[in-house]
Structure 1
């Protein structure tokens, strides 16, 4: 009985448990692929730096091109769960073409670009359909718990996934290791097939405008501030990420093993952050938790340009930066998902999700390009300082918004009228 009481209440619900299990397995497979795809490009296809850049860009391009249209389509769909199943199976099929072509001696970089593009495109449709499915499975009063469970398993995949991917590459070779991720998508599809929640009804005819999600975000004081804050921190985080490996290896003299250990600290931090978010939100409120997560994600980046002195001191500073940022990132992600689940109306949920990810993912390659430009013109240290300060400044978008006053979530019936987002600020005032 004691052991049973330790199981989160949501995991005792069969439908959510199956949904969560599928998401967990798929997240683990994704982490394997994030390691294995670049390894295939380098080791099997001898890709150069420019070709690796094209490969990375191919993963983000679908979010820029398809998110708005996918969200508009998904809001009018009556079968979002089935769409998610089809996209899972489609991603599995796309990944399986890589080991098949490799075994036949036919694998090329162009095929790898096409596979990454296809997987990214299908992921866009999966994500915009996932938002309505989540609220169909989770009661409003358990949005925080549900987001914590989903993001907690994602954080665990950050810890386990790279090591598992490396082991699979050692045992099977890089192309065959992709079979693991393909199987994870199949598992996700099977778990989704075994649930049948009552999905939110499709949007009314004539209300599927592609830009409606962006317009609603612009009119909503909460969502507008959240998007500006997270997009800004993502932009400057990718400025820093573009320079981090070069800085650690060339300026600080880190070996590959030491660099890997430092980067692994972020994964451990996300795991701890997922465990802490519920307590943080209960203590200070869900809106302040969002702001705290945003600042806690960005502020440790100041330690990166400060790293210097002995190898031990530099490693300790970078380890602390990655670990603390990981904690903040997970608090930010869980609190954001919880607020969005409560505040976005069902009729616009997929369109808002699509618009949000189009901007949030769209700034990432821009940040990488900006990082390269700043690093080459100003030098590594000035560019890293700009990235850290810019990331911290993202909190200014949120400080002067209604988010810090949001102590508790409104019920689903208190979600904002899509025709009157200003109503959101009034409801948030009442929740303080």
Structure 2
């Protein structure tokens, strides 16, 4: 924070110019991404007539990058300027997504291309997310991290409310491949605003003895050597495993078994995000009332019962119940994420931010490719609804690692600033 206009003023981050630039860029990108999250599976299901297993592989292709490059990405990002990493990966994702409508227009779109696009987007997302979560603590003061994460989560939730419903209509009007083009444009918009950020922390000093394996090991030791971070990784990793299993079959249930139109599917997804928006506003207040540690395990436990609605939904009034359950679940998810991500960012030394975030992403997102494959296989073998019931049972147990850790009774969580 080298300029007066970037220093926090009364009114919080509303007056922080550099944070606003990051906020605007990321918000528009999130809006476009919600369209593609709906459009890519529907391209596979409705345009290419993909099987349940092939849709599961598409989910896997999006997430396998966290296993393959998740750990080295942290070490590489710590050597780079975070802003440049964000801009480059925004541009690469725009190009990858733009190839889908072009291929469809030429009549050469295949499921293999969707896999390749999903894989490239996944790799770019690994680098973007690691740099993004590491850049925020360099733009704002550490005591503002919860506020910053809450604001970013709020706009993400708003985009998830409007994005799917508008996306559903656009998919019906334009067809799914061309709706993906809007997401490509959104990444260009995000790149423009991130490039406008003037705060440029110095690039990490090049150490003559630097070693990729050692640097990765430092990130692993920091996360796995801390009992609190370890329990959060176990909880989030288990939840993501079952969540990706659900993602592999959820759209198959809605689009194929219930024969809902893209517009109705988008509306259900939008009502889910209303809960996420509420969670972004309630997270700080909730953590203050119950304590930071309890806020993590209580929110993880509270989301469990709502997973049991999807296996029994029909094309009737239960769709309203599904929308309510999705919204309530996402309220809990957002409170959990804001609390634990802000804690992680505040605990970590600045020089380890990239590797800490990459290690956590590797541990908690690395379960998702396995979940995508398991969901696709189970959906093909035992059925879509039965798979969703297995997901609900497994997801109900995911809170145990944080509940059985010291987080259970810790009203105030430790921070790096308190140790220096």
TM-score of the two chains, using structure 2 as the length reference: 0.85
CA distance in 1, matches of 2:33, 2:255: 27
Please name the residue that 1:181 is paired with. 183
- Counterpart contact for 2:291–2:410, Cα < 8 Å: yes
Query: What does 1:255-270 align with in structure 2 at a 5 Å threshold?
Result: 256=260, 262-270=268-276
8 Å contact from structure 1 (residues 63, 358) kept in 2 = yes
Out of 287, 306, 311, which is 1:300 matched to? 306
Deviation string 1:187-224 (CA, Å, 9 cap, x unpaired) is 11111111132437627553643343223211011110
Paired position in structure 1 for 2:144: 142
**Cα offsets for 1:3-38 (capped at 9, x unmatched):** xxxx96202111100110111001011111122223
- Specify every segment of 5 or more residues in structure 1 that has no aligned partner in the other structure, as ranges: 1-6, 418-432
Name the SS of the counterpart of 2:216 in structure 1: coil
Residues 370-379 or 222-231, more deviating: 370-379
Q: 1:219 to 1:412 in 2, by over 3 A?
A: closer
SS at match of 2:405: coil
Take 2:369 and 2:240, find their aligned partners in 1: how far apart are those partners?
10
Tell me, in whole angstroms, the C-alpha distance in 2 between the residues paired with 1:248 and 1:175. 19
Distance 1:241 1:142, change over 3 A: same
Distance in 1 between residues matched to 2:254 and 2:113, nearest whole Å = 33
Within the alignment, does 1:107 sit opposite 2:113 as a pair?
A: no
**Distance in structure 2 (CA, Å) of the matches to 1:184 and 1:269:** 24
Deviation at 1:72, TM superposition (A): 1.2
Kindly state the Cα deviation for residue 88 of structure 1 after the two structures are TM-superposed.
Answer: 1.0
Q: 1:247, 1:380 within 8 Å by CA — same for their partners in 2?
A: yes
Say if 2:37 is the partner of 1:40.
no
Distance across 2 between alignment mates of 1:66 and 1:133: 19
CA distance in 2, matches of 1:18, 1:387: 39
1:165 partnered with 2:171: no
Equivalent position SS for 1:59:
helix
CA RMSD, Structure 1 to Structure 2 (Å): 3.1
Match of 2:333 in 1: 329
Deviation for aligned residue 1:229: 0.9
Q: Is 1:275 paired with 2:278?
A: no
Find the aligned partners of 1:162 and 1:168 in 2 and give their Cα distance: 9
Query: Does the CA contact (< 8 Å) of 2:167 and 2:266 recur in 1?
Result: no
SS in 1 for 2:117: helix
Of structures 1 and 2, the one with the larger relative CO (CA 8 A, separation 6+) is: 2
Does structure 1 residue 356 correspond to structure 2 residue 360? yes
Tell me, yes or no, if structure 1 residue 344 matches structure 2 residue 354. Answer: no
The answer as to whether partners of 2:348 and 2:356 remain within 8 angstroms in 1 is yes
State the Cα deviation string for residues 137-171 of structure 1 (Å, max 9, x = none). Answer: 12111111111111111111211111222333344
Structure 1 residues 273 and 233, CA gap change in structure 2 (3 angstroms): same
Distance 2:281 2:342 in 1: 15
Aligned to 2:400: 396
Out of 213, 236, 245, the position equivalent to 2:242 is: 236
Deviation of the 1:347 alpha carbon: 1.8
Distance 1:141 1:114, change over 3 A: same
Task: Supply the distance in 1 between the matched residues of 2:402 and 2:414 (Cα, whole angstroms).
Answer: 19
TM normalised by structure 1 equals 0.83
Cα distance change, pair 24–107 in 1 and its aligned pair in 2 (3 A): same
Specify the alignment match of 1:93 in structure 2: 95
Find the aligned partners of 2:110 and 2:388 in 1 and give their Cα distance.
36
Corresponding position: 1:72 with 2:75:
yes
Q: Distance in 2 between matches of 1:93 and 1:375?
A: 32
Output aligned runs, 1:244-263, within 5 Å.
244=250, 254=258, 256=260, 262-263=268-269
